[in-house]
Structure 1
Amino acid sequence: MTQIQAATPEDTKGIEEMLTASGYSRTAINYYINKPHMGQIADPDITSQMTGSCGDTMGIYIKMDNGVVGDAKYQVMGCAGAISAAMAVVDLIKGKDLDYARTIDDGVVFNVLEEIPVKKHHCIQLAVKTLHKALDAYRLKKSA
């Protein structure tokens, strides 16, 4: 997947207006525009990729640091809902241990985003499922 670039300042106002009219909160819009955790991590300890029912695809890359998530990034080929949900997940797990990260669910992410259109709630589910898939595979590998 290729990294999606952040919007230029000239584009930002129109994008904000469109997303606000569509039902996105200021928080979700900021995640989408700034994409603070978009990209890959060199030599990640944990990775996973999933494609949602809508065709959005995301991959997660996690680097551990003394038992906690030191860094995490997503690559997302998808809509504003998918991008904002993935960015929120990273904010929730950075600096936390894997047991805490595994407790993250759709409701927790929705609360961070504050509001996204109902038709985009599956984007939150995709971000959470991608995280859980990565964590489950990592635990299985560590226990083998």
Structure 2
Amino acid sequence: MTTEIDAITSQRKMLSEAGYAEPAINYFIEKKYMGHLQDASQISEKVGSCGDIMKIYLKVDEHNIIQDVRYEITGCAGAISAAMAVVDLIKGQPLDKALTINDGDVFKRLENIPEKKHHCIQLAVKTMHKGIEEYQSASNL
């Protein structure tokens, strides 16, 4: 247990020194929306310019409200933090409102990530938009 706590403390220190704010660090450490959904309404994937891969799983109810969201990510701390923040912003929201979420909204939620990682925010938002748009198209909405 002590070794695990030491590892997390070390990760927090490294991320903080790299320019990540506490909320972004918490999203990365907790990773509470990572994984897949067995009963997803839509699964979409996007590859970023840096090679990071994001797959989003959306569970949408009959009223077009996002009930649950998960991401599978092959990428860096910036990508994971950004995707986890996106979930907090869209979960429980109507599809149309979720589509209004932009990079600035996610950046505010994270408070700060290194400038060279801002493209990770764009990837998380674009992946979410792609998932919603593909769901709407398939559902004739």
Q: TM-score range by the shorter chain?
A: over 0.9
Residue 10 of structure 1 is matched in structure 2 by: 6
SS in 2 for 1:61: strand
Counterparts of 1:97 and 1:40, CA distance in 2: 21
What is the rounded CA distance, in whole Å, between the counterparts of 1:83 and 1:62 in structure 2? 17
Q: Aligned partners of 2:119, 2:106: CA distance in 1, in Å?
A: 12
- SS of 1:44's equivalent in the other structure is coil
TM-score, scaled to structure 2? 0.94
Residue 43 of structure 1: how far off its partner (Å):
2.0
The separation in 1 between residues aligned to 2:68 and 2:52, in whole angstroms, is: 23
Residue 138 of structure 1, CA deviation: 1.2
CA offset at residue 9 of structure 1? 2.4
Shift of 1:139: 1.2
Match of 1:38 in 2: 34
| 2:128 maps to amino acid | L
Runs of 4+ in 1 over 6 A off after TM superposition: none
> Does 2:96 align with 1:99?
yes
| Residue aligning to 2:66 | 69
Q: Distance in 2 between matches of 1:69 and 1:98?
A: 7
What is the identity, as a one-letter code, of the residue corresponding to 2:80?
I
| Secondary structure of 2:43 counterpart | strand
Deviation at 1:25, TM superposition (A): 0.4
Question: Which of 36, 53, 59 pairs up with 1:57?
Answer: 53
Equivalent residue, structure 1, for 2:43: 47
| Residue matched to 1:19 | 15
Which residue does the alignment assign to 2:118? 121
The whole-number CA distance in structure 2 between the counterparts of 1:25 and 1:124 is: 14
1:108 to 95, 105, 108: 105
Q: For residue 4 of structure 1, what is the aligned residue in structure 2?
A: none
- Name structure 1 gaps, 5 residues minimum: 1-7
Does residue 82 of structure 1 match 2:79?
A: yes
User: How far has the Cα of 1:97 moved from its partner?
Assistant: 0.6
Letter in 2 for 1:31: Y
Do residues 141 (structure 1) and 132 (structure 2) align? no
Q: Kindly tell me: are residues 122 and 64 of structure 1, through their superposed partners in 2, closer, same or farther at Cα, counting changes over 3 Å? A: same
Identity across aligned pairs (percent)? 53
List alignment gaps of at least 5 residues for structure 2: none
Aligned Cα root-mean-square deviation (Å): 1.1
Counterpart of 1:35, as a letter, is: K
